């Protein structure tokens, strides 16, 4: 058994083999692997006895279940109205300039992926962004450079 197979088996043992467990299982894989590869989706289908097309269809519906390879830290910048009004673009420019990637891309060292997302629910402290599960609010271009520097120091 390779690592992905055993990860999926553990998750399915933990959450159960019924269809209601599909989302928790997929979330578990994404937590570990940062995305769902075609291979993991087929493995989930096999392990849970669900058609692979159904697994693919469900996975691609949800924006937090990435199906393209992603970095260790996924940066999601809110682009909905209040954040857009309060400087989300400056924030995006600062990140792109610092990491030398565009929206949708991953840094060559697989550390960061940059994405835009819809309303994060922090409109009173706009602009907001998520780095994996952690929230950062009222982020200025200066602050985002500090925040990212912190993540860059970490050894991956």
Partner 1 sequence: MAYSYQLKRVDFIFRNENDWEKVLSSTIKKKPDEIINELISSELKGRGGAGFPTGLKWKLTAESKASDKYVICNADEGEPGTFKDREILSKVPYKVLTAMAVCGYVTGAKEGFIYLRGEYKFLEKELNKVIDEFQYYCKEINLDFSIKIFMGSGAYICGEETALMESMEGRRGEPRNKPPFPTQAGYMDKPTVVNNVETLVHTWTIFKYGAKKFYDLGVQYSRGTKLFSVSGDTPKPGIYELELGMSLQDFVYEFGDGDTKAVQVGGASGFLVPRKKFKDTAIGYEGKLVGISLPTGGSMMLFNSSRSMFNVLDNYLEFFREESCGQCTPCRVGCQQLLLGIKAVKRGEKPAAYLDKLLKLTETMQLTAKCGLGQSVANSFSSIVENFREEMIY
Applying CB under 8 A, the residues found at the interface with partner 1 are: 18-24, 26-27, 54, 57-58, 61-65, 79-82, 84-85, 117-126, 130, 133-135
Q: How far is the CB of 102 from partner 1 (least distance, A)?
A: 18
Return the number of the residue (97 or 150) whose C-beta is nearest partner 1: 150
Q: How far is the CB of 89 from partner 1 (least distance, A)?
A: 12
Measured between alpha carbons, how far is 148 from 93 in angstroms, rounded to an integer? Answer: 14
Phi, psi of 9 (to 5 degrees): -65, -45
Return the number of the residue (89 or 109) whose C-beta is nearest partner 1: 89
Return the number of the residue (97 or 140) whose C-beta is nearest partner 1: 140
Count how many Cα atoms sit within 13 Å of the Cα of residue 121 in the half-sphere of its side chain: 1
Q: How far is the CB of 65 from partner 1 (least distance, A)?
A: 5
Return the number of the residue (85 or 156) whose C-beta is nearest partner 1: 85
Measured between alpha carbons, how far is 100 from 122 in angstroms, rounded to an integer? Answer: 27
Strands (E) across 34-131 are located at 73-78, 112-117, 129-131
Measured between alpha carbons, how far is 128 from 140 in angstroms, rounded to an integer? Answer: 10
Q: Which residues of 26-41 are buried (b: 16+ CB within 10 A; e: fewer)?
A: bbbbbeebbbbeeebb
Q: How far is the CB of 99 from partner 1 (least distance, A)?
A: 22
């Amino acid at each position: 058994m390779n690592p992905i197979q055993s990860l999926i088996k553990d998750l399915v043992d933990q959450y159960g083999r019924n269809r209601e467990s599909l989302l928790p299982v997929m979330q578990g894989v994404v937590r570990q692997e940062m995305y769902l590869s075609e291979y993991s989706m087929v493995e989930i289908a096999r392990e849970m006895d669900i058609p692979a097309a159904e697994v693919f269809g469900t996975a691609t519906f949800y924006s937090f279940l990435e199906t393209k390879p992603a970095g260790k830290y996924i940066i999601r910048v809110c682009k909905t109205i209040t954040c857009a009004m309060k400087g989300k673009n400056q924030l995006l420019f600062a990140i792109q300039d610092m990491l030398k990637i565009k929206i949708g891309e991953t840094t060559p060292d697989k550390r960061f992926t940059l994405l835009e997302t819809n309303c994060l629910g922090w409109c009173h402290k706009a602009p907001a962004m998520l780095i994996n599960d952690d929230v950062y609010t009222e982020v200025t271009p200066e602050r985002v450079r500090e925040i990212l520097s912190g993540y860059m120091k970490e050894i991956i």
